[in-house]
Amino acid sequence: MKKSTLFPLLLMGVSLSFFSCGDDDPDNNVQGWTFDLLPNDTGTKPTEAQMSATVTQYVDHVVLPTYKDLLDKMTAYTAAVDKFVASNSQNDLSDACSAWRAARVPWEQSEAFLFGVADKGLYDPSLDSWPLDKNGIDKIIESGDFSNVDGDVDDDEDAPADAPQNLRGFHTAERMLFDNGDPRQISKSPFSDNEKKYLQIVSKHMLKDVTALYNGWDKGLGDINVPTSYGDAMKKHDGSAYTGLSTVYQAIETILNGDNGMAGISNEVGTQKIQDPVDKWNGSNKDASDPNNPGVLAVESWYSWNSIDDYANNIVSIKNSYFGGRDLDKENASANSLHALVKVINPTLDSLMVVQIDKTIEAIEDMPRPFRNNLGAETEIKAATDACKELTNGLGKIRAKLSAE
């Protein structure tokens, strides 16, 4: 990953070591401090030029590469589905399942930036709605009437169960491909012709959506929702293309926001993806073998048993956004990153965030697998939800520090 230099040596007498992104051990800097009990700020604020460089780094080295990876993986997945449909072989079905999992990684690692193109074009519900309309899916397979599958997303709160987004996307494909975490066994559960056709239609729509996500950030879609490059609009942040992006502070706030940005996904993982199924489980018969158990049915990606990987990759999305690139950490973080900006303002806050990101990933990965069969693992689940809550709290502190006021 190419790294560029943001902070000049002349910034108000601050030394070079101050801006180095890996000089100090964060664990040594957080002793006795918490997000709610911080030492005083340094009194130094990043300049708008430095913040702008961070936004540019974020777009060019986090968002666009993630969506390009997703596009490549989704293209491979769609080809794998076509190959399976043509051959009907177990090996090709297993390959399609592996390709589905591979595409799932960059998708989940994009969920810290579901604003912009994903929001304006409603590509998140189109690709990843949960729960599914299982009855509607079964009716389509039985009838061969696919007319509703490619319809527009109905994002109304009173949308019917069989709204198009509940009949397609990752999880509709997952339901057809997997059985109890493994590739479906064709010898025991053969695919009908309608089911194969349905799988292809769903997969091609997924590729269409993913292509739009990448192109929307890269060059724009030329439609009413994403007329021009959203990535360029973020980098320019002059308000000429999209409302809410008129200053660099608004661009940074968008990245960190608690709805569909970094703080939004940390909160969603803890409260919705993990805790909501647990709450439903606790109010049920607590029988994971019951096909109608509300707790199990609320677990996203339970057909493939991919849930915990999904949740961990959501936090990786935050990590990539914070360090200014994919697969970076405190040792090789970009100089043009949120990590570097926060370190200017309050090094202890930065160290706490560095530690908390990794703690949250570890706590999620420590939950017993598959999640759908272990909704009663109270100790591990509480550790994961507490970690997500603390991460959300810390991101809120950072949002406040980087605001215009």
- What are the residue ranges spanned by the domains of the chain? 48-401
Question: Can you list the pairs that 194-197 forms with residues at least 24 positions away whose Cβ atoms lie under 8 Å?
Answer: 194/140, 194/141, 194/142, 194/143, 194/144, 195/141, 196/85, 196/88, 197/85, 197/144, 197/146
- The amino acid present at 311, given as its one-letter code, is Y
Share of the chain above pLDDT 90, in %: 92
Q: Which residues of 270-300 are buried (b: 16+ CB within 10 A; e: fewer)?
A: beebbbbbbebbeebeeebeeeebebbbbbb
The pLDDT tens digits for 336-358 are: 999 999 999 999 999 999 999 99
Average pLDDT, the chain: 94
Q: Assign domain 48-401 to a CATH class.
A: mainly alpha
What is the model's pLDDT at position 6?
Answer: 34
In which band, very low, low, confident or very high, does the pLDDT at 23 lie, cut at 50, 70 and 90? Answer: very low
What is the model's pLDDT at position 372?
Answer: 98
Element (H, E) at 178: strand 178-179
Lowest mean pLDDT among 22-31, 39-48, 83-92, 390-399: 22-31
With vertex at residue 127, the alpha carbon angle to CA 139 and CA 86, rounded to the nearest 5 degrees, is 65
Task: Give 2: exposed, middle or buried? Use CB within 10 Å, 0-12, 13-18, 19+.
Answer: exposed
Element (H, E) at 311: helix 307-323
In this structure, are residues 333 and 339 in contact, taking their beta carbons and an 8 Å threshold?
A: yes
Work out the number of other CB atoms within 10 angstroms of the CB of residue 227.
Answer: 15
The pLDDT tens digits for 295-304 are: 999 999 999 9
DSSP letters for 8-76: -TTSTT--HHHH-TTSS-HHHH-TT-BTTB-PPP-S----HHHHHHHHHHHIIIIIHHHHHHHHHHHHH
What is the model's pLDDT at position 26?
Answer: 72
**Please, what is the angle between helix 193-218 and helix 64-87, to 10°?**
160
The pLDDT tens digits for 205-264 are: 999 999 999 999 999 999 999 999 999 999 999 999 999 999 999 999 999 999 999 999
In this structure, are residues 296 and 372 in contact, taking their beta carbons and an 8 Å threshold?
A: yes
What distance in Å separates the CA atoms of residue 235 and residue 233, rounded to the nearest whole number? 5
Pairing assessment for the beta strands 178-179 and 182-183 based on DSSP bridges: antiparallel
- Secondary structure (3-state) at 148: coil
In this structure, are residues 296 and 131 in contact, taking their beta carbons and an 8 Å threshold?
A: no
Region 356-383 average pLDDT: 99
What is the model's pLDDT at position 30?
Answer: 84
Residues belonging to the chain: 405
Tell me which of 23 and 70 has the higher pLDDT: 70
Region 135-158 average pLDDT: 97
What is the model's pLDDT at position 24?
Answer: 57
What is the model's pLDDT at position 337?
Answer: 99
In which band, very low, low, confident or very high, does the pLDDT at 3 lie, cut at 50, 70 and 90? Answer: very low
Tell me which of 256 and 29 has the higher pLDDT: 256
